[in-house]
Structure 1
Amino acid sequence: MSIVGQRIKALREKRNWSQMHLAQRLGINNSVLSRIESGEKKHVEDYLISKAADVFDVSTDYLHGRTKDPSPALNKNSTNLGLAFIDGGVEELDEDELEYLKESLELFRRMKERKAKEREGK
């Protein structure tokens, strides 16, 4: 089994989703997803890995097995988030700003996960 297939399957099972449900969300046939998860499909297209990363809110590096951290966004040790502003500049963040943004992002992710669970429960 490929690492991409293993990780997609683990993420799907963690959410108690059927292969059919995930295949629909990815816009692919259930048999294609089955082949990805089992490792039968050796090459998974980049667009599909990106879409799976979006669906699961993880990084593509995580799906590829390049990192054990599934977090899609922030390097937790970074002091500069590299935020781009309207004028195109990048501004160094102070510690308070950085902490505020990290906490806001975590809150957003929890709310997003709760809403997804509520939708699944309907």
Structure 2
Amino acid sequence: MLFDRVKELSEQRGENLKSVAQKLGFSENAFYKWKTQSPKSETLEKVADYFDVSTDYLLGRTDKKRYNSEKNDVQTIAAHHDGEEWTEEELEEIEEFKRFVAMRREARKHKEK
């Protein structure tokens, strides 16, 4: 699935796998190795960033390319905090958790298919 997704994304950009590998600093055959070997997480993240997709999309865990897009199913989260003030860092953690929950939901939907 991983190889197929990378190949498809490359073709959508009008690029071949060799040129994408070169741009990312990989060996020419790097993506072909993914047919039988899993890449390191850092490598997978680099490819996801290049194509602006989630790693779960590359791995076939979801068909949704990005989780933090405006089309996200979760629009608003209300939290009761008994008068506590939230720091910017805490608010970002809440946003990260929201993206994580949405990602898990999509992964479950995909797994149920």
Regarding TM over 0.5, the answer is: yes
Q: Structure 1: which 5+ runs fail to align?
A: 93-122
Q: Any stretches of 5+ residues in structure 2 without a counterpart?
A: 78-85, 95-113
User: Could you list the per-position Cα deviations for residues 35-90 of structure 1 after superposition, in whole angstroms to 9, with x for gaps in the alignment?
Assistant: 33xx1x32221111100000000000101111100115247111248xxx874242
CA contact (8 A) 2:7 2:16 kept: no
TM-score of the aligned structures, taking structure 2 as reference length: 0.62
The match for 1:28 among 26, 29, 32 is 26
Identity, in percent, stands at 29
Q: 2:51 aligns with which of 52, 56, 59?
A: 56
1:16 paired with 2:14, answer: yes
1:21 and 1:86 map into 2 onto residues whose CA distance is 43
Q: Of the two structures, which has the highest relative contact order with CA contacts closer than 8 Å and spacing of 6 or more? A: 2
Query: Within 5 Å, which residues of 2 pair with 1:1-122?
Result: 3-36=1-34, 39=35, 41-74=36-69, 76-80=72-76, 87-90=88-91
Superposition CA RMSD, Å? 2.6
Please name the residue that 1:117 is paired with: none
